[in-house]
Structure 1
Amino acid sequence: MRLKDGFVLREIAGSFMVVPVGRSTQEVPGVIALTETGALLWRMLEKGAEEGDLVRSLLDEYDVSEDRATADVRAFVAKAREQGLLEE
């Protein structure tokens, strides 16, 4: 899994935003707000992380069960796919 080119993560006044740049501004108008957890997953995806890597990062960072971490990662990835942010 990897993120499509043309999107950058920015922290603005304590909030995390994915900002389209270049041609991506035609595909995704505006910015996409992320939670702190979403920003963590985004940064991992920037490095080419797979689902298992993402789950492990949540388990390392937060006090959650593996089932919860897996469900959260799958929901995040599904939403990113739906918004056209991922390449497979």
Structure 2
Amino acid sequence: MPSGTGTRSTGRSPGHRHHGSVVRGTGGCGGYGHLVVSGPHRGQVRMVSDVGAAPFAAESGCTTAAPGFAGRVPHRAADKPWYDAG
């Protein structure tokens, strides 16, 4: 990381940079789960890929779980897939 850039590479994808999030794991096919740790979306979990960032929440239409990290943990513990909404 060049000095003074304020960015950091995940080390997983060349050129991928992020601010205010922690990579929580891979979703396969180039997608990575991020926990947002700062800013107005703090606490949200997002699947980040080359086509954008999908929030983990029932409102997004991809899952039946509660939003954010508090919803993702029990969802994952139950071994449910990210996209479980019918």
Using the size of structure 1 for normalisation, the TM-score is 0.30
Between Structure 1 and Structure 2, which shows a larger proportion of strand residues? 2
Larger Rg: 2
Between Structure 1 and Structure 2, which shows a larger proportion of helix residues? 1
Which of 1 and 2 has higher RCO (CA within 8 Å, sep 6+)? Answer: 1
